[in-house]
Amino acid sequence: MTNNMFYGIDVGGTFIKGAIVADGGKIVYSEKIPTDPDNLAECILQLCAILKKGANLTQKDICGMGIGLPGLVDTEKGVLLCAENLSLYNYPIKELVEKEIGIPVKIANDANAAALGEHLYGVGKNYRSSVMITLGTGVGGGIVIDGKLFEGNRGAGAEIGHTVIEFGGEKCSCGRRGCLEAYASATALIRQTKKAMTDNPKSKLWEIGSLDAVDGKTAFDFYALDADAKNVVDGYVEKLASGIANFINIFRPEAIILGGGVCAQGETLLRPIKKLLENEIFAYGLSPEVDIVIAERKNDAGALGAASLLIN
Ligand SMILES: [Zn+2]
């Protein structure tokens, strides 16, 4: 057995996903267990024991661990500074896990780890530089430049969802206003759809039954049938495109990778974004093209990317 395998751990609010990853990005074995925020380090160690047993390996076969964490991290100190959804603050996760398991541990923000996973082993493998934007409950993402994850000072940067696209605009989950997340998350899309229905009791959107039935697909489903639905989608796409234009103009990556539930719309989402970007990308037509593509690694990018923190 060669000594080039790593644990990749992706900590979520409900589950901790883990994988043993060989250094070509091959997942040897994966498993998940419920998250217990009161005993996070113990949970991770327990998952590692399950993974090791499942893969029929011994501890000496595994030479490092990467952990993606849902919050603000200090990658240098190995501390989870703040994870609201786990109610964890200043949690020295690297030290707690490392002293028990005896192999090097690296940590990263979970969205950054997932961006690295997608870059190395998903649609991003065709590019040297990419910016990933995940459109889910929030807007996450990460930046990879020349094959390396760009995390900002001590891992606190690349907060793509909290770039401001409308100063003083809609309230964001972070407590500030006007962030991309407040317009381009699935949560924002649902909010705008419900608002359109409330504003117009005659909207065809009401055919779904009630406001409670609205999800991230509703406005897209009624796009061709209802002017209000069209307005919601057009507005959503415009805000998302303005965020994308900023990332393109700053980083000029080879690709923007979109992930998250909203991307199930495929070309219906991509086509109008690309059209809008023609006017918003600096020196469009003269400067290198930027591909806008949809992520491939839906559920395992986080664990793969976390393991790659050691490989990368
Ligand atoms: Zn924000």
Structure pTM?
Answer: 0.91
User: What's 184's DSSP letter?
Assistant: H
How close is the Cα of 227 to the center of ligand 1, in Å?
Answer: 29
H or E stretch covering 140: strand 139-145
Could you report the per-residue pLDDT of 183-223, keeping only the tens digit for each?
999 999 999 999 999 999 999 999 999 999 999 999 999 99
- Give the Cα separation of 255 and 81 in Å (integer): 31
Are the beta carbons of 154 and 76 closer than 8 angstroms?
A: yes
Residue 68 C-alpha to ligand 1 middle, in angstroms? 20
CA atoms of 205 and 227, how far apart (whole Å): 10
Question: Ligand 1 centroid vs 21 CA: distance in angstroms?
Answer: 33
More confident residue, 85 or 226: 226
CA of residue 159 to ligand 1 center, whole Å = 9
Q: Which two tokens stand for residue 132?
A: 């990933």
Q: What is the pLDDT of residue 297?
A: 92
- Between the CA of 180 and the centroid of ligand 1 the distance, in Å, is 7
CA of 47 to the centre of ligand 1 (A): 32
At CA 131, angle to CA 259 and CA 231, rounded to 5?
A: 55
CA 188 / ligand 1 centre spacing (Å): 12
**Paired tokens of 247:** 């990332």
* pLDDT per position as a tens digit, 288-305: 999 999 999 988 999 999
Distance (angstroms) between ligand 1 centre and the Cα of 28 equals 37
Strand segments (E) across 2-78: 5-11, 15-22, 27-34, 62-69, 72-74
Q: Residue 153 C-alpha to ligand 1 middle, in angstroms?
A: 19
Which residue in the block uniquely carries the two structure tokens 């999800």? 215
How would you write 257-289 as a 3-class SS string? EEECHHHHHCHHHHHHHHHHHHHHCCCCCCCCC
Mean pLDDT of 133-149: 94
What pLDDT does residue 96 have?
98
| Mean pLDDT of the chain, nearest integer | 95
Question: How remote is the CA of residue 163 from the centroid of ligand 1, in Å?
Answer: 7
Give the pair of three-digit tokens for residue 266.
């495929």
For 7-66, the pLDDT digits (tens) are: 999 999 899 999 999 988 999 999 999 999 999 999 999 999 999 999 999 989 999 999
H or E segment to which residue 108 belongs: strand 105-109
pLDDT at 1 over 50: no
Token code pair at residue 183: 């317009």
How far does the centroid of ligand 1 lie from the alpha carbon of residue 209, in Å?
A: 32
Contacts of 244 (CB under 8 A, 6+ apart): 133, 256, 273, 277, 292
CA of 18 to the centre of ligand 1 (A): 28
B/e letters for 192-228, b = 16+ CB within 10 Å, e = fewer, are: bbbebbeeeeebebbebeeeeebebbbbbbbbeebeb
- Centroid of ligand 1 to alpha carbon of 46 (angstroms): 34
**CA 81 – ligand 1 centroid, Å:** 17
CA 169 / ligand 1 centre spacing (Å):
11
Query: 24-35 as b/e, with b when 16 or more CB fall inside 10 Å?
Result: ebebbbbbbeeb
Instruction: Give 150 Cα–ligand 1 centroid separation in angstroms.
Output: 20
